Amino acid sequence: MVKVTIDNQTIMVEEGTKIIDAAKETGIIIPRLCFLREINEIGACRVCSVEVEGTDKLLTACNTVVEDGMVVKTNSPKVRRARRTNIEFILSQHDFSCATCVRSGNCSLQEIANDLNVDSMPYKIKYEKRAWNKDFPLQKDFSKCIKCMRCIQVCDKIQSLGIWDVVNSGSRTTVDVSHNRQIEDADCVLCGQCITHCPVGSLTTRNDTHRVYDAIEDENLITVVQVAPAVRAAWAENLNIEEKSATPSLMVAALKKIGFDYVFDTNFSADLTIMEEANEFLEVYTSGGRDLPMFTSCCPGWVRFMKSQYPDMVKYLSTSKSPQQMFGAVAKSYYADLLGVDANKICCISIMPCTAKKKEAEIETINDTEAQRDVDIVITTREMEKMIRAENLDFSKLKEESFDSPLGIGSGAGVIFGATGGVMEAALRSAYYFVTGKNPDPDSFVSVRGEEGWRESKFSIAGNELSVAVVSGLRNARELMDALIRGEVKYDFVEVMACPGGCSGGGGQPIKDGCELAYTRANKLYKLDKKMYLRYSHENPAIQKIYSEYLGKPNSEIAHKLLHTDHES
C-alpha cells in the first residue's frame, strides 16, 4: 500500500493505483474526456491534468500511478486554467454547432466546456472537412472529431478490427479509416461500438427517422413496426422517466402516439427463429460427421465478421434468418394475407439496438418474399428516442398499451435474446422439448449466462452430451474461431454476438458516456422473462397458429423460402 494526499485528504491505496482512481476513493471525480477504463488511458485530451507537489509540469491523472507520499491537487487555479485552455484548444478544432448535433445534451465536450465556464473562444476556429459516404449506416463527421482516439482503441481492442487510425500530422492530424481505405471497403462490421464510445457527435448512425415519418404520412402505406428485445431494457434511459414506470407497455403507448398503424414485437419472430434454428441444430447434431459447430446467425455484425475474416467458415452459420428478417418476411406474406392487402402496401419498420441491422435489411439475398424487402426501414433505439421526444409526451399521463396481435405475442425465451447467451438458452429450452416431448425447467440452462466474453457449458439431453459456447465481443469471437480451427476446443453449438454483452450493449442503444450498461440491461430482460407466463418459444400460441395455418412445420418448404437464407450467396 502507498500513502497519497489528494486535496488535503490522506489515504492509503494499493500500489499501482492511478491518480484518477485514488481521487475517486476520496470522493473526488476528476473530469476526463478521452479516458476509457482499460481501453484508452493515454492522456490525449489532458482534461484530467492535476498538480503534483515537486513537479513543475501538470500530470494526467488517468495514466499516472500514485507514488508513496505523493501530494496531489486536483482543482488548483493552475489546474483549472490548464483544463480551460485544453478545452478551448479542442473547441478551436471542433464544429460546435450544437443545435443541430445529434449528441447535443449528451456530449462530454459540451458538458465539460459548460462546467469550466468556457464562454468565449480566444483561438481561431479551424476544423477538418472531409467527404463521407452518406448512405453508409456508420457516419463520421470530421469537423467534430476531437482526436481522443477512443474509436481506434475500441475497434482494435474490443473488436480486433482496427478500422480507424490516426492520419496526417501537425494541425491536420485526424482520425480516418486505416490503410487509406474507404469505410465501405474496410471490414467494418457496423457493430457501432465506436459510435457509443465517441464522446462527441463525430461518429453517429445514419439518420433514418425522416424516412419513417414519410412512411407514416403516406396514406397508401400500412406502417408495421417491430421492436427488438433489447430496446425495452434501455429505451427510457435518457428520457427522464422513472425506471419502474419505463415498462415495455409504456414504450408501446409512446410508439402509438408517433402514429404507427401496428406496433409488434420482435420477440414473436425470435420465437419463430427458435423453432427453425433449434430444429436445424438438431438435424445437424443428429446427422453427425461434422467437426465444427453450428453458429447462430442472428447478429449481423457477427455474420459480417465471419464473411470477411473467416470466409471458409460461413457454411457453418445457421441458415435461419435473424428475427428482424423473419418478422419482415412474415409481415409481408402471412400478415399481408391476414389483412387482405398487397404485401407492397406494408412498410415494415424495425427498431433495433443495433447499427448493423440497417445493413442486414439491405442484403439482397436475404429478401425473398414477393415484396422487394422484408424490412424497409431500420432505426436504432437512439433514433426512436428522438422520435419519442418529438411527441412532447407527458409520461405521467400516458396510459400503457399492449403490443398488437398476432405478431406482438412473444415468450420470455424471445425476451432474453437481447442478452448474451439468450439465443442459446432459448434454443436449448425448445430443443429439449423437441427431443424429449417434455418441457425442461425453464431455468435449466442458466449456466450459459454470465459476463465473461467466452463461456462454455455442457448439458445432457436424453443421454445426448451437448457442448456449447457463448461469445460476445469480436476479439473473443476471433480467439474462439482460431482455437476451433487449431482443434483446441470442440463445440456443438456456438452463439456469437458482436457487441460485448450482446444486443443489450448494442451500438444503437442510448449513450451514457463512461457507463457500460449491457449487463444491467440484460438483468432487466432476465427479470421480464422470469415474470412471463410464456417461457418457451414452442408454446407461443401465435407461433403455433402460424405453423398450423401457414408454414406447416419448421424447415418446411415455405418456411425455408421465407425464413432461411444462404449466407454464402
Distance CA 385, CA 404 (A): 21
Distance CA 318, CA 325 (A): 14
* CA 511 from centre of chain: 10
Nearest Cα to 60, choosing from 77, 85, 35? Answer: 35
299 lines the binding site for ligand HC1 (CB under 6 A): yes
Of the candidates 353, 412, 500, 554, which one interacts with ligand HC1 according to CB under 6 A? Answer: 353
What does 110 interact with, of ligand SF4, ligand HC1, none (CB < 5 to 8 A by kind)?
none
What does 102 interact with, of ligand HC1, ligand SF4, none (CB < 5 to 8 A by kind)?
none
Q: Which residues of 135-162 are buried (b: 16+ CB within 10 A; e: fewer)?
A: ebbbbbbbbbbbbbbbbbbbbbebbbbe
Closer to ligand HC1 by Cβ: residue 31 or 421: 421
Of the candidates 188, 228, 263, 494, which one interacts with ligand SF4 according to CB under 6 A? Answer: 188
Of the candidates 155, 282, 409, 496, which one interacts with ligand SF4 according to CB under 6 A? Answer: 155
Residue holding cell 402514429?
A: 259
What does 354 interact with, of ligand SF4, ligand HC1, none (CB < 5 to 8 A by kind)?
ligand HC1
DSSP 8-class letter at 549: I
Closer to ligand HC1 by Cβ: residue 13 or 354: 354
Q: Which three cell numbers stand for residue 124?
A: 481561431
Distance CA 161, CA 143 (A): 24
* Neighbouring residues of 102: CB distance < 8 A, sequence distance ≥ 6: 201, 204, 207, 382, 386
- Backbone torsions φ then ψ of 457, nearest 5 degrees: -145, 155
Q: Minimum CB separation from ligand SF4 for residue 154, in Å?
A: 6
* Contact track, ligand HC1, 484-523, x by CB under 6 A: ------------------xx--x-----------------
Give strand ranges (E) for 434-548. 454-461, 464-472, 493-497
159 lines the binding site for ligand SF4 (CB under 6 A): yes
Distance CA 212, CA 239 (A): 20
Distance CA 536, CA 35 (A): 43
Three-state DSSP class for residue 3: strand
Of the candidates 192, 248, 414, 440, which one interacts with ligand SF4 according to CB under 6 A? Answer: 192
Of the candidates 323, 406, 453, 510, which one interacts with ligand HC1 according to CB under 6 A? Answer: 323
Q: Minimum CB separation from ligand SF4 for residue 194, in Å?
A: 3
* Count of residues near ligand SF4 by CB under 6 A: 13
What does 418 interact with, of ligand HC1, ligand SF4, none (CB < 5 to 8 A by kind)?
ligand HC1
Closer to ligand SF4 by Cβ: residue 201 or 414: 201
Of the candidates 44, 163, 227, 346, which one interacts with ligand SF4 according to CB under 6 A? Answer: 163
Distance CA 262, CA 215 (A): 13
Closer to ligand HC1 by Cβ: residue 98 or 314: 314
What does 417 interact with, of ligand HC1, ligand SF4, none (CB < 5 to 8 A by kind)?
ligand HC1
Q: Minimum CB separation from ligand SF4 for residue 548, in Å?
A: 41
Neighbours of 113 (CB within 10 A): 20
* Contact track, ligand HC1, 356-395, x by CB under 6 A: -x--------------------------------------
Distance CA 547, CA 564 (A): 15
Q: Minimum CB separation from ligand HC1 for residue 379, in Å?
A: 12
Spatial contact of 426 and 532, defined as CB atoms under 8 Å apart: no
Q: Minimum CB separation from ligand SF4 for residue 568, in Å?
A: 22
Three-state DSSP class for residue 477: helix
Spatial contact of 298 and 502, defined as CB atoms under 8 Å apart: no
> Quick one: which segment of 8-16, 140-148, 159-167, 333-341 binds ligand SF4 (CB under 6 A)?
159-167
Q: Minimum CB separation from ligand HC1 for residue 316, in Å?
A: 18
229 lines the binding site for ligand HC1 (CB under 6 A): yes
Of the candidates 87, 161, 230, 424, which one interacts with ligand SF4 according to CB under 6 A? Answer: 161
Q: Which residues of 253-285 are buried (b: 16+ CB within 10 A; e: fewer)?
A: bbbbebebbbbbbbbbbbbbbbbbbbbbbbebb
Nearest Cα to 214, choosing from 340, 349, 102? Answer: 349
Of the candidates 47, 270, 272, 562, which one interacts with ligand HC1 according to CB under 6 A? Answer: 270
Q: Which of residues 448-467 bind ligand HC1 (CB under 6 A)?
A: none
Q: Minimum CB separation from ligand SF4 for residue 201, in Å?
A: 15
Q: Which of residues 400-439 bind ligand HC1 (CB under 6 A)?
A: 417-418
Distance (Å) of CA 272 to CA 207, 321, 419, 532: 29, 10, 18, 18
Q: Minimum CB separation from ligand SF4 for residue 151, in Å?
A: 6
Q: Which residues of 205-240 are buried (b: 16+ CB within 10 A; e: fewer)?
A: bbebbebbeebbeeeebbbbbbbbbbbbbbbbbbbe
> Quick one: which segment of 78-86, 93-101, 158-166, 306-314 binds ligand SF4 (CB under 6 A)?
158-166
Q: Which chain residues interact with ligand HC1 by CB under 6 A?
A: 228-230, 266, 270, 298-299, 322-324, 352-354, 357, 417-418, 502-503, 506
Q: Which chain residues interact with ligand SF4 by CB under 6 A?
A: 138, 154-155, 159, 161, 163, 188-194
